[in-house]
Amino acid sequence: MIDKKAIEHIAKLARLHVSGEEAEQFSQQLSKALGYFEQISKVETKGIEPLVTPSDMEVFWREDISIKELSAEELVANAPEKVGNLFKVPPVV
Amino acid sequence: MSSNQAPTYYRGYEAIIGLEIHAQLKTESKMFCSDATTFDAGDNENTSPVSIGMPGTLPVVNKRAIEFSIKTGLALNCEIRKKSVFSRKNYFYPDLPKGYQISQYDEPLCEHGEIKFNVGDKDNKYEKTVSITRAHMEEDAGKSNHFGEYTLINYNRSGMPLLEIVSGPDMRTPQEAAEYARTVRSVLRYLDVCDGNLDEGSLRCDCNISVRKIGAPKFGTKVEIKNINSFRFVEKAIEYEIDRQIDAVEAGEKIPQETRLYDPDKNRTFSMRLKEDAQDYRYFPDPDLMPVIVTPEMIEKFRKELPELPIARAQRFVTEHGLPEYDALVLTAEKELSEYFEVVAKTCKNSKAASNWVMTELLRELNQAEKAISQSPIKPEQLGQLIALIDKGTISGKIAKTVFSEMWTTSKDPEVVVKEKGLLQISDTGAIEKIIDEVLAANTAQVADYRGGRTKLFGFFVGAVMKASKGQANPDLVNQMLTDKLNKPA
Amino acid sequence: MDLIKASLSEISSAVKTKKVSAVEVTQFFQSRITKLDSQLNSYVTVNESASKEAAAIDAKVAKGEDPGLLAGVPFGIKDMFCTRGLRTTAGSKMLSEFVPPYDATVVARLRSAGATVLGKLNQDEFAMGSSNETSFFGPVKNPWDTAHVPGGSSGGSAAAQSARLAAATLGTDTGGSIRQPSSLCGIVGVKPTYGRVSRYGIVSYASSLDQAGPMVSSVSDAALTLEVICGRDEKDSTTSERSVPAFSKNLNQDLKGMKIGLMKEYMNRPGNHVDTSKTVEAAIDAVKKRGAEIVEISVPLTEHAVPMYYLIAASECSSNLARYDGVKYGHRAHFDNLGSIDLDAFYEKSRGEGFGKEVKRRIMLGTYCLSSGYYDAYYNKACQVRRLLRQQYTEAFQKCDVILSAVTTHPAFKIGERVSDPLAMYLNDIYTVSTNLAGLPGMSVPFGMSGHLPIGVQLTAAHFEEQKMLNVGFALEKDSPVAGKAPHVI
């Protein structure tokens, strides 16, 4: 059902490098899993609102106050590459 | 859509224009976290684990951003959804720290609105109505700076609150589009929810344009022009784009669905990217956020808090200040200008004079100096005092212009300028009589001519007297006394 | 004092009354880690400043201050929780060098209650797995038999707690990741109601399912820990405002009047290990003896729980894990010349190298489920069925207070035994995933032995009814055949 070509397309969408061997494996495993998961199509759900957050709770919003807890240095400390306090990436455009 | 303007065609084609305006909401903190929103912070100084998308960090909605969005929706005559939903728009780009943008998708906060405005100049204007398809909240991305071999990312802008206002495809000319954008900006500024600063990017404008042969049932392929940073350029870019598209269609070319950029220096648009392999954004409701629930009580509260909006204010200027409609529209186009005018009018208690002085003298100087009304060196109270001085007869209208230009350069109060420069109007009949006598004595030939029937010379005498008084003589008195003297038999 | 057997409140009061110092308690567990963990591989990172943190608690005691409910109690923390200044890996190469500048809210709450952090515990990569075999840092071994898995994904927490390499541990549970390893390692593990505990700072796997909880040696230790970590967090929009009961003080082993539900769909399932069924039978007898009434209930849609769970969890994870892109933190593939790298290649290589196979598999599955053309059939459909499932549970809880069932189909299996078939591995989660889908609280209490391996029973309650569930667990604990037995490694 999910052939290698579909796997390549999904891998592209997910920005994941997948080797030829992995693609083969994923194709088989995901097809098998999805084949099994198909069973939910048998449940009648017409007009049922999808459920995202499973327990009922009150909505709350934040007051509009600015707070600074960390310095720019602390926030860029984990960067694989940086220039000053900016994150460095390959040329974009 | 109602419009009393005759349809506008271009070489047998009709242009279909829709605008997407991104308004950055004027909050103290970001959409989903407490980072400051200041414009000039150091590199990544206005960030936090949330806005950098660090593991496990979660969004929490800014209450004021909701308030501002609802108020804008109400001002744009939108329906406010009782339940709206934040979704995730998934795509990869370095300025997008989480790999998705939180944005409202199929259930936006505001829908089905409309806005009315006037297009054209004083003598040839018509009212236009443009529908607002939706206005939804979303977060901004960071900023990329390109250096050839690499790109540097600053997330200060990441998570800034935006309201995206999407119009219907209702505009037909570049002028309508520009006027629509100006009107939306004006509303946002009246509401005080957005700076409306196109240079700093607090207001961004994307235009969707297509052309079709007159009478064609379907719209042509839509082309998007992104991030145009002035309303004049909105007009120019659309003008160019309409021509370009008609040329292409006429030449038998297919218009590709694409995003283009406008280059103001060359006055042309150029392709940025094709949209043909449409991105699959895999939208789904953000499970980290609860739906936004808006109660009727909230809507009523915000509706009551709405300030007077441009159209209502213009109407009031007509009824309350007795201004012509056109003047009222000019004065209310900008919130600050309308407020300035009202202070001037209140100070001098002469609305008509206030409107004339603001619209002619002040706006001319501001335009020449490329200054905003808020940067005017003359405060509205001062301009009002100046007009009051004229009305009291302390100075003449002509002297007032001299005083005005002195005020413009020095920001001094008008009384001070009048006093320092000795510009007080001469209303002392003795002093005026003395000047008249001198003028008549120096021009005996003309006096004789006048009395001989050349009454046209009256103006000459007035001019000479005014000149001799350095313009300070009260013109009414001069007129009256000259008449008396000249007509008195010698 | 015997720190291996001491309860958390005993440790805390001993520290407060200076019978033992927090530093001594910390060092006791540190030396056990040094001595024993080479057999288990339960710790990924040991906190070098644990003693210093403990000394600060002792200093508070010395000054007469109250350090809190968990004074001087050393916790092992699953590596999903961000810990300020202490490496947090989520069991992944992707985050193998990530040092968060912030604490997860739960960790911050433990600290402010006087607890110290011994170190970070091994787990399945990004909590995706049920055997702790997907960790980048190698598999964890079951202390009862090191040839067997400890379960997952919180396998490090379960193993460390069971071998007493910490006084208490924290785990996370998305589809059973607290309850299943707790069952396989003979400890008490509680997954609270969705919304009871803040998720802020916990590496997200599936936002609408993830919940943190204690993995400890007794029900009263679990109750005490819950009192500290539960409650609304301003940084997590999905936490509930409900007040947090004093769970530990309210514990009551008298089950008179309590209705225990046995779910038709879960009872006597073919494929269960015989000792699993025996354990459940024994637990039913035990609660009956203590006065509980047994009622039969039915939640038919649990039949579809595994598909629902994997469709939703994979979809959410595909988006939650998009932030790991090698830009801001985490693994970046090596490139000799950044300037010549295409952006997509940069992402694909960094992510391809940083994630392990199971994580990739679930990202792929989730990306597929959300992609254009499949959203309605998979993600949306699963969310609709999810609402129906929750409804059926609500109806079931009108007939009973707590549902009693098995946790897993089998006791701990051997390392490597099931890695080859992902679907078979997924089907192991049959008894645990429904609880997460419906947002219910659930727990595992040790109640049986299969040879030398422990088996737990699962208790599930209605939303926010943790106390009832804890009480049943508290009663079962008194009669547990696992009590008094110790793992091989201790």
Tally of domains in chain A: 1
Name the packing angle between helices A20-37 and C357-370 (round to 10°): 60
C63-78 as b/e: b if 16+ CB within 10 A:
eeeebbbbbbbbbbbb
Q: Does the pLDDT value for residue B427 go beyond 90?
A: no
Residues in chain A within 8 Å Cβ distance of B53 = none
Which one of A52, A60, A71 has the shortest CB-CB distance to B285?
A52
- Residue at A9 is within a domain: yes
Say yes or no to pLDDT of A6 above 90.
yes
| Domain-embedded: residue A84 | no
Does B144 contact chain C (CB < 8 Å)?
no
Topology of domain B429-487, CATH: Arc Repressor Mutant, subunit A (1.10.10)
Question: Nearest CA of chain B to the CA of A22: how many Å?
Answer: 22
- A37 within some domain: yes
Q: Determine, for residues C371 and A13 on separate chains, whether the beta-carbon distance falls below 8 Å.
A: yes
Residue of C nearest to B149 (CA): C339
Q: Is residue A16 part of a domain?
A: yes
- What are the catalytic residues of C? 78, 153, 177
Length of chain A: 93
Q: Is the pLDDT of residue B2 over 50?
A: no
**Cα distance between residue C155 and residue C152, in whole Å:** 5
Q: Is residue A15 part of a domain?
A: yes
- Which chain B positions have a beta carbon within 8 Å of C95's beta carbon? 55
Q: What is the pTM of this model?
A: 0.92
Residue extents of the structural domains in chain B: 13-301, 308-421, 429-487
Is the CB of residue B49 less than 8 Å away from at least one CB of chain C? yes
Q: How far apart are CA C125 and CA C190, in angstroms?
A: 21
The b-or-e profile of B22-50 (16+ CB within 10 A means b, else e) is bbbbbbebbbbbbbbbeeebebbbbbbbb
Q: Which of B44, B64, B280 sits opposite A13 (nearest CB)?
A: B280
CA distance linking residue B162 with residue B380, whole number of Å:
33
C353 in contact with A at a CB cutoff of 8 Å?
yes
pLDDT digits (tens, 9 = 90+) for B332-380: 988 999 999 999 999 999 999 999 999 999 999 999 999 989 999 999 9
Q: Which one of B29, B30, B54 would you mutate to disrupt binding with C, by most C Cβ within 10 Å of its Cβ?
A: B54
Confidence of residue B34 (pLDDT cuts 50, 70, 90): very high
Domain of A16: which CATH number? 1.10.20.60
Give chain B's radius of gyration (CA, Å).
Answer: 30
Integer Cα distance of C308 and C327 in angstroms: 33
- Asked if B152 has any chain C CB less than 8 Å from its own CB, the reply is no
Q: Which domain covers residue A15, as residue numbers?
A: 1-42
Given a cut of 80, is residue A93 above it in pLDDT?
no
Domain boundaries, chain C: 8-252
Q: Is pLDDT larger for residue B229 or for residue B83?
A: B83
The chains in contact with chain C, meaning 3 or more Cβ pairs closer than 8 Å, are: A, B
Mean pLDDT, rounded, for C70-85 = 98
The string of pLDDT tens digits covering residues B159-218 is 999 999 999 999 999 999 999 999 999 999 999 999 999 888 899 999 999 999 998 888
Q: Which residues of B touch A (CB under 8 A)?
A: 27-29, 34-37, 42-45, 47-49, 52, 60-66, 92-94, 144-155, 280, 282, 285, 287, 290-293
Q: Between B37, B49, B66, which is nearest A61 by CB?
A: B66
| A-chain residue closest to B44, CA distance | A72
Do C339 and B56 make contact, defined as CB atoms within 8 angstroms?
no
User: What Rg do the C-alpha atoms of chain A give, in angstroms?
Assistant: 22
| Residues B62, B35 contacting (CB under 8 angstroms) | no
Answer whether residue A71 is part of any domain. no
Interface A–B counts its CB contacts (< 8 A) at 105
| Pairing outcome for strands C168-173 and C293-297 | unpaired
B291 and A85 within 8 Å at the Cβ level: the answer is no
User: Nearest by CB to B280, which of C207, C371, C379?
Assistant: C371
Residue of C nearest to A75 (CA): C101
CA distance B254 to chain C (A): 26
Judged by CB atoms closer than 8 Å, whether chains meet at C234 and A62 is answered as yes
Q: Do B94 and A87 touch (CB under 8 A)?
A: yes
Residue C100 has its nearest CB partner, among B54, B97, B153, at B54
B215 CB contacts (<8 Å, ≥6 apart)? none
Q: Is A92 on the interface with C (CB under 8 A)?
A: yes
Work out the average pLDDT over C230-247: 97
What fold does the segment set C8-252 form as a domain?
Amidase signature (AS) enzymes (3.90.1300)
Residue B73 — very low, low, confident or very high, per pLDDT cuts 50/70/90? very high
Encode pLDDT of C126-181 as tens digits: 999 999 999 999 999 999 999 999 999 999 999 999 999 999 999 999 999 999 99
Please work out, in degrees rounded to the nearest 5, the angle formed at the alpha carbon of residue A52 by the alpha carbons of B109 and C192: 130
